[in-house]
A and B are shown apart, each in its own frame.
Chain A
Amino acid sequence: MQLIDCPWCGPREEVEFSYGGQAHVAYPADPAALSDEEWAQYLFFRDNPRGPFAERWVHAAGCRRWFNAIRDTATYRFHRIYRLDEQKPATP
């Protein structure tokens, strides 16, 4: 089973974690000003690359804290794991 390196707990088995999809999708600063098209983009559209992807994970059966990771969606290898208050690293 894949080990995921929780920034607080260290490496734990994948079953302890839940997936949160694409990271760094900010809530719109002024939602009421958005057009229907812009709102649809925020609500329903996410990047779906084949390769490195910045995404959110939560250590659901552990410390229950969220963190971000750069993971390759083709190989499933975690390249970087970083805390929510850290900048997004440059993708490899």
Chain B
Amino acid sequence: MTAPEHADFLWRNPEPKRSYDVVIVGGGGHGLATAHYLAKNHGITDVAVLERSWLAGGNMARNTTLIRSNYLWDESSAIYEHALKLWEGLEDDLGYPILFSQRGVLNLAHSLQDVRDGVRRVEANTLNGIDAEWLTPDEVAKVCPIVNTSQEIRYPVLGATYQPRAGIAKHDYVAWGFARRADQAGVDIVQDCAVTGFLTDADRVTGVRTTRGDIAAGRVALCAAGHTSVLTDLLGLRVPIQSHPLQALVSELLEPVHPTIVMSNAVHVYVSQAHKGELVMGAGIDSYNGYGQRGSFHVIERQMAAAVELFPVFARAHLLRSWAGVVDVCPDASPVVGRTPYGGLYLNCGWGTGGFKATPGIGACLAHTIAHDEPHPYVAPFGLDRFVTGALIDEHGAAGVAH
């Protein structure tokens, strides 16, 4: 079998025009998806995606590619399930392979409190029409035979939630697929173009200053993840996020040994096996604020200890490489999306450790929000005002640090 021929270029590299209807700051998954749905769902194609570095080279290149929607609260379930349904049709929509594989996710429980929280979350998911089951340790072993379900270990597995429709996708292909489709629709993807300031007229944002000149814009959307504060500081606008390093790593290529995704908040590790064969593992965030795209070694060390305890078969696997992204963590572990005190400026940040899985969902909802200047119903609960009203959406349990 020969591989189908791949195009030499998936998108143009145009010089930025001096004016656009919509400028999206940040050429990662969220920014590219937003551009795609602006064109596809709303017919808005006079759009630029400005990327300070290279396309999808930030958190989009640094996540662990997990996709699931088994969140606790109705608001989160709605947006993540919307995303999961879009993931299920995304290859057809983009006309590009993304290696989306629905292999299910196990969220392990290691304490009585974990069990209570897990069962509650399964019930909440079921009420929201999301596939969820509670599994006993024996059932966990059937789904994933390499998990150590012995009751003799320090933190024995007492059960797990299971979402069969969860999965993984190839993050680079997702970004390239969105970029290609957006480009075909007429969107300008401009790399190596950092935003250094904003053009304003009273309380309205009218454009951006960039390293490649000023660009006027009818509307500006920020999809800059961990660097959002750096941008909003230029306007004196405060956002309730803190940027932390989040580390992940891969092993060398191995035969297929791991049929699903396993997450454990208590001993803190999450593992899947990529199509190519690497074990992909994520750690917890480093405790300090950091923009360095690297973290402390002891975080990786603890994560490895957890992985080897849960998966004794991994003990002799070699680490291939590790890295870190810069994640934007919100006080209630939920994102901040919607309008701002500035007219024509839209926020999309605070996805913290879980932004990848939301990519098509937030792209569609943010595009709607920009096109109508009105929050899409799925993102309306995630506005900046919730920190004043107190209507927080506490997802520390389901989002935790793991994603």
Contact = CB atoms under 8 A, between A and B. Distances in A.
Nearest to A15: B298
B153 interface: no
A45 B387 contact: yes
Interface in A40-92: 40-41, 43-50, 53, 55, 71, 73-76
A26 B147 CA distance: 48
Nearest to B243: A48
B238 A53 contact: no
Contacts of B238: 41, 45
B233 interface: yes
A1 B227 CA distance: 26
Interface in B120-145: none
B296 A48 contact: no
Given A48-B242, A49-B229, A50-B230, A73 B291 contact: yes
A71 B288 CA distance: 10
A73 B243 contact: yes
Contacts of B229: 47-50
Interface string B282-322: 00000111111000111000000000000000000000000
Contacts of A18: 287
Contacts of A41: 238
B240 interface: yes
Contacts of B296: 1-2, 14
Contacts of A14: 296, 298
A6 B292 CA distance: 23
A30 interface: no
B331 interface: yes
Interface in B231-258: 233, 238-243
Interface of A: 1-2, 14-15, 18-19, 21, 36-37, 40-41, 43-50, 53, 55, 71, 73-76
